[in-house]
Amino acid sequence: MEALKLSSQPFKILIHLASSKSNPIATVVTRTSYSSSSSPSRRHIVLRCCTTTAATPKVPGRNRRSSSTSATPSSTSDRARVSFTEFPVDELKNKGLEPYAYKWDRTHNANQLQDIYRHLQNGEESKNESDYVSIAGRIVARRAFGKLAFLTLRDDSGTIQASHGSSHMALTYMLFGTAMTMAKEARSPDLYCEKERLMNDQFEQLKTLVDIGDILGASGSIKRTEKGELSVCVDSFSVLTKSLLPLPDKYHGLTDVDKRYRQRYVDMIANPEIADIFRMRAKIVSEIRKTVESIGYVEVETPVLQGAAGGAEARPFITHHNSLGRDLYLRIATELHLKRMLVGGFEKVYEIGRIFRNEGISTRHNPEFTTIEMYEAYSDYESMMNMAEEIVTRCALAVHGKLSINYQGVEICLERPWRRESMHNLVKEATGINFIEFGNDLKAAKEVTLATLADNQQKHSIEACPSVGQLLNEVFEIAVEPKLIQPTFVLDYPIEISPLAKPHRRHAGLTERFELFICGRELANAFSELTDPSDQRRRLEEQVRQHNEKRVAAESREKGKETDNSYEVTLDEDFLTALEYGMPPASGMGLGIDRLVMLITDSASIRDVIAFPVLKIQQ
Amino acid sequence: MEGSIEQQSGPVSDRPVDTSSAPTTPAEPEGLSKNARKKELKNKQKEEERRRKEEEKEKSAAMTKSQVQKPLVADDDDIDPTQYFENRLKALAAQKTAGENPYPHKFFVSMAVAEYAEKYGALESGQHLEDVEISLAGRIMSKRSSSSKLFFYDLHGDGAKVQVMADARHAVMDEAEFSRFHSGVKRGDIVGIVGFPGKSKRGELSVFPKSCIVLSHCLHMMPRQKVVPGSDNTTKKETRYRQRYLDLMLNVDIQQIFKTRAKIVSYIRRFLDRLDFLEVETPMMNMIAGGAAARPFVTHHNELNMKLYMRIAPELYLKELVVGGLNRVYEIGKQFRNEGVDLTHNPEFTTCEFYMAFADYNDLMDITEKMLSSMVKELTGGYKVEYHASGYQNEPIEIDFTPPFRRIDMIEELERIANLSIPKDLSGDEANKYLADACVRFDVKCPPPQTTARLLDKLVGHFLEETCLNPTFIINHPEIMSPLAKWHRSKPSLTERFELFVNKHELCNAYTELNDPVVQRQRFADQLKDRQSGDDEAMALDETFCTSLEYGLPPTGGWGMGIDRLTMVLTDSLNIKEVLLFPYMKPVDEPPTKGTW
């Protein structure tokens, strides 16, 4: 709002213009017109009729709209139509009108108007000078009858309503000389335009030069119709940006999923609820920040470009610095640098940032994704479990206002506390196999596993496990993971698969580590951090050795071909040196923000929560 | 503070050695006195200065003592670093063999060191609260002992510190065990302490441990010498950046820089959130590196067999979101430019960009003034900051953020100051020749290609930017320099653009966004011409972006600011590396140095 105040000067002029022209409204016409736009769903139907029927052949621009909106909205090439569409721009210019305005002073958005004029009675018009409002948005529907026209504008004043994920604010303005209605349910005012209320030939311009898809600014007075809809009776308007391409049809258009992601802006214009996902995403990230900062965490930024990519096991992206003639890796985790901060004396640090992994794309994987990693000195993995509960529940409450949420048809209950169970017990519960009994006897463990798991599709991967710990994890992934629908902390992972976690204080061979699962997906990964530099060096060396073994094996299998493991893993010596200077006992957690947003916004694919996901090269 | 207790209770024999070897403040190492002076000038706090002096005294005192009392404390600081490391490893191995865990999993901390200092700072001298039990943890940054029954430590935690006065009389251990434990504790170790609060007779806030435990061990000799910003020693400066954790341990001021940085970022977020802006994230890897003129990093996606560029600016994606209906968006994030490294450039750096529908560049100048002045006020208490623009050894300049900021019209002002009369048609050969001649005349270097845009840029750098110490908007850049800015509503061939300069460096860049797709395509075509004439930093055409404009971008103001450079100004840092935790460094051949800086 401050910004609006900054530039209120020009608007005053507008008000004068408007008030000098405030003729009495033709109420009869108003009433009839309102009745044709009562519910949001009907409005959309009317919209389509309108664009086709209103298509009079006298203006080239109109022809182009009607044919395009009704026929082939999105799948044909956008470019093909531009040659047509430059006509309305020229037409505007010929009339001395600017098709690309410099600015527009908005006084209100739809949401604010709904709020301010909540108490306006049906049929009442507010006539104070202070009730002249100025609004702007994209025209999403338009109907014109003789001396009367209705326009529906959409602005972005959508706020995330508790329990309604998709409540966008469509502003319906009725350009008529002067008016706008808001359908109650959608809270979306209409523009209501009467010929008599508009200056000079503005009404003619409206009918001939203004079309769906254009961005329009309008000002006028506020009225609630007899049907109870808030509307703006327009005194003056201005085309702010002329659209050259037809908007895709919400119901028939944009079935091309690929195009939805490639041209996210088209997707968002056609489906305003898409924008809500990104509003919720912003809200979630902001809630996470608030949560951790309220207990003293400091936000830091660590490098993306690194000499060695550590902190996780993943194939990194490689790039090259020209002037220094050196290859660099894109980070695959922020862990090792954040731990250096603990060594340096920070006690609570976090980073929300982009991570890059050179891996395939899927509904759950994008090559770049966002995580929060956080580290706290003098705490252990128990306290991180509380932290994970705190973060996720606060985000759910911020967006939905409740802790019971729906994900893809499944009811998820986020009431605390969440189940905490060791990996051993979960595997035992699901398969009956008690891995503790095997000790280090890999052979016995494999025999029992193969005999127990009825479905032997995973036979190969089971036999390939080089240790009991890895086998346990394999069985966990096969038999338990998909069943962890309600929030569950899986505790105490085998040491073989947890190179950065501290050995368990009571159970040999295990680590103090947990992963949080919701809806069968890993959402967070945390441990009591390993602080012993000798132990850390041994484990990282082992990791490098195993990777190289796999790499050699894979390369000899598929000679000369790129395999999943054909990248180098190196020791981060500087990190080990940092540990030798002493890192306080600490716990750390990484939480995937994209997955959290998927869960809370009920999105099936990671591409729905990333504005511009990576896609295959277009054919 | 710390030294005081010692003066009181320590053996008298220490004092003469202490004073002779401990330089008094004026004779401090050069780097430090600079820093001390800078600090004093900045904060005008005598208190701060006093603490620093005492810290220095105490440090040398500790050093002296370790020499004098070697037999007693068994401090082996003067042995070879490698030997030291080996010895400590052996000690740990011995502990492990004995079945002890040298790295405990958890130590309960009842309060942070800073909180402790605040809570008990008001105790009377000599007062002990023996009934209160508190537990603190932190790193020992100095160790002194006066007998086998009395040890002093400085405990540092999260930027604060407190004295630990370990007296065998308070300890739960018996005397022999107490003595053995404390002689084993090394400078740099991280310890947990359970004890009670109190103040020494000299008024030094202390904690009196009943029990102590080592939580993590410093296996290397902790460096003694501080290296501070502004120090001339290049190797040491390099080590500071390479081993930032050591830098942070040894210089509390450095932690403060990064806390200020976090506050700046958080302030910007709050400011924009209050204006109903939405924080979004756009890709850092693109098929086309657009939105700015710079050489990008190239990488490769294996499975998709796809060449990707690291982003050089988020601009085009953010405008696409405005087309999509998000009227106010911002992104704070990393940008990557494949360029050399210098005092104000790092290959990866952080910017904030925001886009505001229905606003123009006039609105954005108001917002910029408001944001920066209120931020400076909140962080420093006033509108003016001191900045050692010409080195810490010289007097600082004062940068005044009091709004409104000066506004100068680029071409008009250039013509006035340099007494030029630049041809109105800047795209023609005549203008190019005129400016090339002007550069020669004023001895302004412009390496080829001498495009009109580059020539102008050099002249503006020479004549205008040099005058911009206080925040100054240079406005109305020519179209040829600004391919994404909208043509000026009344001045032909210019655009509605501004750059904000502070201390002669560009801090913000903003404009009324060009939203006419036909003109935008034309501008990209012109850029292509520049590219063909050898300017490899000219912008590339982004087809998806141009198509989005055809769907209609509302009138929009767009704005970008360099967070690193702003942090430099507000933390009085002269090198961008000072405000980056892990700045880009050339690789070293040998492994990181250990304890030898």
CB contact under 8 A, B358 and A377: no
Burial of residue B281 (CB within 10 Å: 0-12, 13-18, 19+) is buried
Q: Where are the beta strands (DSSP E) in A91-190?
A: 125-126, 133-145, 148-154, 170-171, 174-176, 179-180
CA distance A302 to B245: 13
Q: Is the pLDDT of residue A562 over 70?
A: no
User: Hey, are the CB atoms on A584 and B190 less than 8 Å from each other?
Assistant: yes
Residue pLDDT, tens place only, B388-447: 998 889 999 999 999 999 999 999 999 999 999 999 888 889 999 999 999 999 999 988
Sorted by sequence, the CB contacts under 8 Å of residue B98 that are 6+ apart come out as none
The residue type found at B436 is: A
Of the pLDDT bands very low, low, confident and very high (cuts 50, 70, 90), residue A138 is confident
Interface of B with A in 511-540 (CB under 8 A): 512, 515-518
Answer yes or no: do A582 and B218 touch at CB < 8 A.
yes
Percent of chain B with pLDDT over 90: 64
The mean of the pLDDT values for chain A is 78
* Segment A102-137, tens digit of pLDDT: 989 988 888 888 888 888 888 888 877 777 888 888
Would you tell me which residues 338-397 of chain B have a C-beta closer than 8 angstroms to some C-beta of chain A? 338-341, 347-348, 350, 356-360, 362-363, 366-367, 370
Given this model, what pLDDT does residue B583 score? 93
Q: How confident is the model at residue B16 (pLDDT cuts 50, 70, 90)?
A: very low
Q: Give burial (CB, 10 Å; 0-12/13-18/19+) of A199.
A: middle
Phi, psi for B317 (deg, rounded to 5): -65, -40
Q: Which residues of A touch B185 (CB under 8 A)?
A: none
Q: Which among A262, A354, A380 has the least Cβ separation from residue B544?
A: A262
φ, ψ at A366 (rounded to 5°)? -125, 140
CA A306 to chain CA centroid, nearest Å: 28
Distance of CA B443 to CAs B168, B431, B432, B438, Å?
75, 18, 16, 8
Q: Are B241 and B593 in contact (CB under 8 A)?
A: no
- Look at B63 and B549; give whichever has higher pLDDT: B549
| Chain B nearest C-alpha distance from A573 (Å) | 7
Give residue A11's pLDDT band: very low, low, confident or very high (50, 70, 90). Answer: very low
B79-97 residue pLDDT tens? 788 899 999 999 999 999 9
- The CA distance from A446 to the nearest CA of chain B, in Å, is 33
Please indicate whether residue A439 or residue A28 has the higher confidence score (pLDDT): A439
Contact A241 B515 (CB under 8 A): yes
Selection from A10-19, A452-461, A514-523 with the highest mean pLDDT: A514-523
**Residues B163 and B233 sit within 8 Å (Cβ to Cβ):** no
> At a CB cut-off of 8 Å and minimum separation 6, what does A278 contact?
A611, B278, B280, B321, B326
Neighbours of B589 (CB within 10 A): 4
The answer to whether A298 contacts chain B (CB < 8 Å) is yes
What are A299-332's pLDDT values in tens digits? 999 999 998 888 888 999 999 998 888 899 999 9
Preferred mutation among A319, A356, A573 to probe B, highest tally of B CBs within 10 A: A319
pLDDT of residue B35: 56
Q: Are B364 and A3 in contact (CB under 8 A)?
A: no
What is the rounded distance in angstroms from the CA atom of residue A158 to the CA atom of residue A170?
A: 8
Which residues on A lie below 8 Å from B592 (Cβ)? Answer: 573-574, 577
A614–B555 CB contact, under 8 Å: no
Chain B partners within 8 Å of A356 (Cβ):
284-285
DSSP string of B123-169, one letter each residue? PPTT-B-TT--EEEEEEEEEEEEEETTEEEEEEEETTEEEEEEEETT
Task: Flag if A324 and B341 touch (Cβ within 8 Å).
Answer: yes
| Min distance B69 CA to chain A CA atoms (Å) | 25
Closest in B347, B358, B515 to A136, CB measured: B358
Q: What is the mean pLDDT of chain B?
A: 85
A278 has a pLDDT exceeding 90 = yes
Structure confidence at residue B545 (pLDDT): 93
The pLDDT value recorded for residue B290 is: 84
Q: Do A302 and B105 touch (CB under 8 A)?
A: no
Strands across the sheet containing A305-306: A305-306, A326-330, A318-321, B298-301, B306-310, B285-286
pLDDT on residue B51 = 60
Strand, coil or helix: what is B249?
helix
On whether any CB of chain A is under 8 Å from the CB of B258, the answer is: yes
For residue A195, the model assigns a pLDDT of 74
- A286 neighbors A593 (Cβ within 8 angstroms): no
Which one of B358, B373, B489, B556 would you mutate to disrupt binding with A, by most A Cβ within 10 Å of its Cβ? B358
Q: How far apart are the first and last CA of chain A?
A: 45
- pLDDT at residue A164 above 70? no
Tell me which residue has tokens 């050692």: B388
Tell me what pLDDT residue B435 has. 94
The reported pLDDT for the residue numbered B230 is 56
Give the residue-averaged pLDDT of A502-509.
93
Q: Which two tokens stand for residue B302?
A: 């294996």
Per-residue 3-state assignment (H helix, E strand, C coil) for A390-424: HHHHHHHHHHHCCCEEEECCEEEECCCCCEEEEHH
**Among residues B287, B139, B145, B270, which one has the least CA distance to residue B216?**
B139
Question: Which is more confident, B75 or B380?
Answer: B380
Question: Quick check: B544 contacting A, CB < 8 Å?
Answer: yes
Looking at the predicted structure, is the pLDDT value of residue B591 above 60? no
Partners of B206 in the β-ladder: B163, B198
Helix B517-532 and helix A79-94: axis angle, to 10°?
A: 110
* Alpha helix ranges (H) inside B69-99: 70-73, 81-97
Is the minimum CB–CB distance between B590 and chain A shorter than 8 Å?
no
* Residue A221, helix vs strand vs coil: strand
| Rounded-to-integer distance, Cα B573 and Cα B509, Å | 22
Percent of chain A scoring above 90 in pLDDT: 44
Residue of B nearest to A266 (CA): B324
What pTM does this model have?
0.83
Interchain CB distance below 8 Å, A534 and B92: yes
Q: Residue type at B504?
A: K
Lowest mean pLDDT: which of A66-75, A92-101, B448-457, B567-576? A66-75
**Distance from the first to the final alpha carbon of chain B:** 27
pLDDT band at B49 (very low <50, low <70, confident <90, very high): low
Q: What is the pLDDT of residue A484?
A: 97
pLDDT at A166 > cutoff 70: no
Put simply, the chain A residues between 44 and 83 with a CB less than 8 A from any chain B CB are 78-79, 82
Contacts of A558 (CB under 8 A, 6+ apart): none
In B391-430, the residues whose Cβ lies within 8 Å of chain A are none
What is the pLDDT confidence band of residue B39, given thresholds at 50, 70 and 90? low
Q: Are the C-beta atoms of residues A584 and A378 closer than 8 Å to each other?
A: yes
Candidates B246, B476, B581: best to mutate against A (most CBs of A within 10 A) is B581
Min Cα separation B37/chain A (Å):
25
Please give the average per-residue pLDDT across A56-67, as a whole number: 32
Q: CB of A211 within 8 Å of any CB in chain B?
A: no
* B23 exposure class (CB count in 10 Å sphere: 0-12, 13-18, 19+): middle
Q: Chain A residues with CB inside 8 Å of B312's CB?
A: none
The C-alpha atoms of residue B286 and residue B318 are separated, in whole angstroms, by: 14
**Residue A248 near residue A254, CB atoms below 8 Å:** yes
The nearest alpha carbon in chain A to B564 belongs to: A301
pLDDT, residue A567, reads 83
Give dist(CA B242, CA B245) in Å, integer. Answer: 9
**How many angstroms separate the CA of residue B478 from the nearest CA in chain A?**
17
Q: Which residues of B touch A269 (CB under 8 A)?
A: 323-325, 551
**Contact B276/A1, CB-based, under 8 Å?**
yes
B489:A102 CB<8 A: yes
How open is the CA angle A24-A25-A29, to the nearest 5 degrees?
Answer: 150
- Say if the Cβ atoms of A341 and B581 lie within 8 Å: yes
Question: Residue A619 has what pLDDT?
Answer: 60
Average pLDDT (B113-126) is: 93
Give yes or no for a contact between B134 and B113, defined as CB atoms under 8 angstroms apart. no
Alpha-carbon gap, residue A327 to B371, rounded angstroms? 39
User: Using the beta-carbon criterion (under 8 Å), do B360 and A103 form an inter-chain contact?
Assistant: yes
Distance, CA of B116 to CA of B209 (rounded, Å): 14
- As a whole number of angstroms, the distance between CA B587 and CA A310 comes to 16
Digit-coded pLDDT (tens) for A127-136: 777 778 888 8
pLDDT at A142: 81
Give A 315-334 residues with CB within 8 A of chain B.
315, 317-324, 326, 328, 330
Largest pairwise CA distance in chain B: 92
Which residues 303-322 of chain B have a CB within 8 Å of chain A? 303-304, 306, 308, 310, 317, 320-321
Q: Look at residue A189 in the predicted model and tell me its pLDDT.
A: 62
The contacts of residue B346 (CB under 8 Å, 6+ apart) are: B564, B576, B577, B580, B583, B584
Q: Tell me the two tokens of residue B563.
A: 């967070």
Residue A499 at interface with chain B, using a CB cutoff of 8 Å: no
Whether pLDDT at A271 is above 80: yes
A326 contact residues in B (CB cutoff 8 A): 586-587
Residue B321's identity, in one-letter code, is: L
Rg (CA), chain B: 30
Q: Which two tokens stand for residue A231?
A: 């509307």
Residues A461, A481: Cα–Cα separation, whole Å: 16
Find out whether B189 and B217 touch, Cβ atoms under 8 Å: yes
Would you place residue B459 in the very low, low, confident or very high pLDDT band (cuts 50, 70, 90)?
very high
B280 close contact with A: CB closer than 8 A: yes
| Residue A265 to residue B159, Cβ atoms within 8 A | no
A138 touches chain B (CB under 8 A): yes
| pLDDT score at B271 | 97
Tell me the shortest Cα–Cα distance from A429 to chain B, in angstroms. Answer: 29
Q: List, in sequence order, every residue forming a beta bridge with A526; answer none if it has no partner.
A: A514, A589
A367 Cα to chain B: minimum distance (Å) = 8
> Tens digit of pLDDT for each residue in A193-236?
777 777 767 788 887 888 888 998 988 888 887 777 778 888 88
Q: For the ranges A152-166, A601-615, B360-374, B476-490, which has the lowest average pLDDT?
A: A152-166
pLDDT of residue A179 exceeding 70: no
Per-residue pLDDT at A22 exceeds 80? no
Q: How far is CA A6 from CA A265, A593, B274, B360, B485, in A?
A: 29, 36, 14, 12, 22
